[in-house]
Structure 1
């Protein structure tokens, strides 16, 4: 290993594939710590539904950015990039390797590549778009984005109102497509990232997701969601597992239907995750059952 170079090992892949377990094993092997890049595991109020590491797992290696924020705080990807880089700079003073794990592609890219620059836009534009969402619905905003920026319409998660409004406010505020600000030159990182991805046959991924949802329900997800009902309009809770159970608690859906929707929406999320992560041609992909030593050997090859 070239000890003059600092390495960030970034573990990516679809939800429920085993990223947390692998991250702990690698952290123990390299005697290092873990940064979480999962945008929902930041929130201490959301434990069961975000599949955050268990007490035992947290004891297996020191973690950063797990349950350190309240759902009432406005913590975004820009703030995370700044905090994560500061944390890495501190960790790399005494370590040559740090592990990062998480299924939030944008948050992962913020650390490994840096964020794109966007111009400031008037707050009133976002307020108007939020009113339009309430009055006209998401499909209206999606069609507006399709007209102003077809590229963003075809690449962002258009079923996420927050993402659609963000793209639209940049389009309207700047007079230029949101996509035109993407992939510009960014700040260089003082570390080398090695990205490893875990995958499996799609049917197996979907089966693992279905089982995980059942386990979450057994562990008390519904009770957790009940305690958060008064905050259901916060962006943090516009999250699979929570928004469907709010529909049940509102009396709109049966519990069985809400659970089936959680499974369906989580499977869709996993599909989007794979699409996002497979854009990186340098990722070293492994079957989720690959022997740990095989992964370590491949990592060390890339550190020479």
Structure 2
């Protein structure tokens, strides 16, 4: 590019909509690399249940932040923001483009806009929350977060203890709502976002989700979850696709019921994703069947 501007082509949308395939086509066309902003795909031990790109897809374009840490490590959205910006600074030395893709709206926003600084968390606060959660259950988490931050509670994944515990510990440590830290400060960015949203009619999207879950099960999801079962209390594993199978292993669910719960909870997750992404300013929405070339034409016309 002669104008020396830097661009981050951002592909957003609900789970199972085809973001990975589209991101790869865009990266190949613009000869650039991909940053994943899917918070579940960071973890090396989680493969089938997080729908990480296949070996063929990973070979088609360079990817970053796929299986980069372990479930035994803490990795916050602030850590990701720091690492992603460092990676972009490196990539922009030799390229004017990068692709950002993922379904975690909070992590997308972290890269595009940044946050105010989150407070340091006293480990004692974190441990007290974990202990109380293990004793009192998820309903306690929901009630506490709703009381301390109703704004964030309205948008948080209410079946995800990890997200709620993170928000609650910030509320307690700072004395302020977690939501007050989000997007207050628009951090200076050296790149221009071009945001592409992929969408589908709800029934079609839900059918794709159901099919993906069936494929995951056939590919060994139950065995993968079984291997992680001894570590089921780790924050990283408090997520759809694993939590339901842990209940099956505990004897609380039948296998068939657990699989149906994964489908139901994934559909709910997709609905929350779209609620978040529909508020993302500047997004150009396309039907998920739109050809990569049509989206490439749109991008080139906006440069």
- 1:253 corresponding residue in structure 2: 253
- 2:154 corresponding residue in structure 1: 154
Offset, 1:182? 2.9
- 1:271 corresponding residue in structure 2: 271
Offset, 1:121? 4.0
Residue by residue over 1:210-269, the C-alpha shift from the partner in whole angstroms, topping out at 9 and shown as x without a partner, is 000111111111111122121111111112111111111222211110100010011011
Moved over 3 A (4+): none
Paired with 2:209 and 2:64, the residues of 1 have a C-alpha distance of 25
2:178 pairs with 1:178: yes
Residue by residue over 1:128-157, the C-alpha shift from the partner in whole angstroms, topping out at 9 and shown as x without a partner, is 222221222222232223233322222322
Paired with 1:262 and 1:158, the residues of 2 have a C-alpha distance of 15
Distance 1:213 1:184, change over 3 A: same
Please give the residue correspondences for 1:1-304 in structure 2 after superposition, counting only pairs within 5 Å.
3-303=3-303
Residue by residue over 1:98-155, the C-alpha shift from the partner in whole angstroms, topping out at 9 and shown as x without a partner, is 1111111111111111123223343322222222212222222322232333222223
Paired with 2:148 and 2:40, the residues of 1 have a C-alpha distance of 30
Say whether the 8 Å CA contact 1:3–1:96 is kept in structure 2: no
Q: Secondary structure at the match of 2:196?
A: strand
Paired with 1:42 and 1:251, the residues of 2 have a C-alpha distance of 29
Q: Which moved more, 1:127-136 or 1:45-54?
A: 127-136
Say whether the 8 Å CA contact 1:197–1:284 is kept in structure 2: yes
Paired with 1:225 and 1:44, the residues of 2 have a C-alpha distance of 13
Offset, 1:2? 5.9
Structure 1's unaligned 5+ residue stretches are: none
Offset, 1:29? 0.6
Paired with 2:225 and 2:87, the residues of 1 have a C-alpha distance of 31
Paired with 1:172 and 1:72, the residues of 2 have a C-alpha distance of 24
Offset, 1:177? 2.6
Structure 2's unaligned 5+ residue stretches are: none
Q: Secondary structure at the match of 2:166?
A: helix
Offset, 1:178? 2.6
Q: Name the count of aligned residue pairs.
A: 303
Residue by residue over 1:66-114, the C-alpha shift from the partner in whole angstroms, topping out at 9 and shown as x without a partner, is 1122221212211111111111111111111111111111111111111
Distance 1:219 1:252, change over 3 A: same
Paired with 1:155 and 1:102, the residues of 2 have a C-alpha distance of 18
Distance 1:168 1:94, change over 3 A: same
Paired with 1:109 and 1:141, the residues of 2 have a C-alpha distance of 25
Distance 1:42 1:218, change over 3 A: same
Say whether the 8 Å CA contact 2:162–2:236 is kept in structure 1: no
Q: How large is the Cα RMSD of the aligned pairs?
A: 1.6
The alignment's TM-score, normalised by the length of structure 1, stands at 0.95
Paired with 1:178 and 1:41, the residues of 2 have a C-alpha distance of 24
